[in-house]
Amino acid sequence: MLSAIHSLLDNTYEEMVDIRRYLHQHPELSFQETETAKYIANYYEKLGIPYEKNVGGNGIVATLKGAKPGKTVAFRADFDALPIQDEKDVPYKSQIPGVMHACGHDGHTATLLTFAKVMQQFQNDLEGSIVFIHQHAEEYAPGGAKPIVEAGALKDVDAVFGTHLWATLPLGSIYSTHQAIMAGTDRFEITIQGKGGHGAIPQDTKDAIVIGAEAVSQLQQIVSRRLSPLSSAVISIGIFEAGNAFNIIADQSKLVGTVRHFDTAVQEKIIQEMEQILKGVCDSFGASYTFDYVKGYPPVINHPEQTDLVLQTTKEIDGVDIAAITDPLMVGEDFAYYLLEKPGAFFLTGANLEGNDYPHHHPRFDIDEKAMLIAAKAFANIYLTYQEQAK
């Protein structure tokens, strides 16, 4: 049956490309994906596969029940876009100014939809059930995964899998890991309140820029000097705002940044150290501060048994040259919430387009669309092997 599924997927490749390119031309931002959700729902409506809409927001969850008893396996694809202007010179360039599928979610959606269409044609031979989770708002916290899980999408699911088409990995490669594959991603905002004044009379001020600079310098020492070298983490300041005139000492400065981690104990240690540093720096200058720390997506932590299943089964796919372990990435993904709820694994499908080496979230981002076909075949291999191993 697997070879027949692969053959049928090959035959639907053009449709897969058409879906991806349509979605690429009509992107919608996180939590605003109403037309994309309608498109997905209409696709399942035409197939006659039962589905639920407005799951946890704009989510769509469809279920294909096989004719034979077996396990229930879920596959997830996200479908939101980013606030980026598409700068590619291609026929399928985004038609929405300032909005672009710059992370491959259009490809994820096209992959899952055509996978559903093909698997339906084998419904009488299938064991168990397939749940197709189309998730909104992956790009913007609090994200769509958590409310979809809370809505009960995984209630009867035995295992859950997902992939990310990865533009900086070569086509024909698949990578995963037995533990954390992506980091927890937090956001913080610090406001330092000093005392402004004339640039010629600094002794009467409490310079919020100097205080902010000192805070930045010390915050960068948390990872290098206050954490174990074996504890991976990142603290990055992305915004430093202060002042509005060349000859005025600023009374206030604002720092905004991100923390990345793979361990909640490390996360808590970082928060504690940040608070201590800010208090010490501001006290020494006679200034005050506010510290707003928002815990974002948790780390994406794979389950070893399901990771082995991914790597073992995808090696057999025609066109896959390597299926191997990868180092974890410091980027975030709310697929983490599914793996906190059920066993499963997340993996990367190489999608580098020759001649286009732009990374995710870049205005010229693009993928080799043949990666979608590999991803769909990977889903098929994972599903059938999971059912076989569960007997």
Mean of pLDDT over the chain:
97
Set 80, 106, 158, 186: catalytic member: 80
> Rounded to an integer, what distance in angstroms lies between the CA atom of residue 35 and that of residue 366?
22
Taking CA atoms, 159 is separated from 40, 153, 387, in Å, by: 23, 12, 11
Q: How confident is the model at residue 391 (pLDDT cuts 50, 70, 90)?
A: confident
DSSP 27-44: --BTT--HHHHHHHHHHH
CATH number at residue 214: 3.30.70.360
Same-domain status, 73 and 205: no
Instruction: Give residue 234's pLDDT.
Output: 97
End residue of a domain, out of 246, 264, 297:
297
Percent of the chain with pLDDT strictly greater than 70: 100
CATH number at residue 20: 3.40.630.10
Residue-wise pLDDT for 334-383, tens only, equals: 999 999 999 999 999 999 999 999 999 999 999 999 999 999 999 999 99
Same-domain status, 247 and 150: no
Same-domain status, 292 and 344: no
End residue of a domain, out of 239, 263, 297:
297
- Closest alpha carbon to 262 in 294, 219, 299, 220: 299
Distance of alpha carbon 139 from the chain centroid: 6
Same-domain status, 9 and 65: yes
Set 33, 138, 207, 366: catalytic member: 138
> Does the annotation flag 24 for ligand binding?
no
> Rounded to an integer, what distance in angstroms lies between the CA atom of residue 87 and that of residue 362?
9
The boundaries of the domain holding residue 248 are 184-297
Q: In terms of DSSP bridges, do strands 322-325 and 173-176 run parallel, antiparallel, or are they unpaired? A: parallel
Q: Determine the Cα angle at 350 with ends 344 and 354, to 5°.
A: 170
| pLDDT above 90 (res 121) | yes
> Does the annotation flag 103 for ligand binding?
yes
User: Does the annotation mark 80 as catalytic?
Assistant: yes
Task: Decide if 371 contacts 351 (C-beta within 8 A).
Answer: yes
Instruction: Give residue 120's pLDDT.
Output: 98
Same-domain status, 41 and 145: yes
Same-domain status, 112 and 170: yes
Residue-wise pLDDT for 130-141, tens only, equals: 999 999 999 999
Same-domain status, 140 and 24: yes
Same-domain status, 178 and 188: no
Asked if residue 328 has a cis previous peptide bond (ω within 30° of 0), the answer is no
| pLDDT above 90 (res 106) | yes
Same-domain status, 222 and 172: no
Same-domain status, 268 and 173: no
> Rounded to an integer, what distance in angstroms lies between the CA atom of residue 62 and that of residue 64?
7
- Dihedrals φ, ψ of 101, to 5°? -80, 90
Same-domain status, 59 and 166: yes
Q: How confident is the model at residue 256 (pLDDT cuts 50, 70, 90)?
A: very high
- The number of distinct structural domains making up the chain is 2
- pTM for this model (two decimals): 0.94
Cβ neighbourhood burial of 260 (10 Å; 0-12, 13-18, 19+): buried
Instruction: Give residue 186's pLDDT.
Output: 97
> Does the annotation flag 361 for ligand binding?
yes
Residue-wise pLDDT for 269-298, tens only, equals: 999 999 999 999 999 999 999 999 999 999
End residue of a domain, out of 297, 312, 341:
297
| pLDDT above 90 (res 264) | yes
Instruction: Give residue 242's pLDDT.
Output: 98
> Does the annotation flag 6 for ligand binding?
no
> Does the annotation flag 164 for ligand binding?
yes
Same-domain status, 111 and 168: yes
To which H or E segment does residue 131 belong? strand 127-135
Instruction: Give residue 154's pLDDT.
Output: 98
User: Does the annotation mark 138 as catalytic?
Assistant: yes
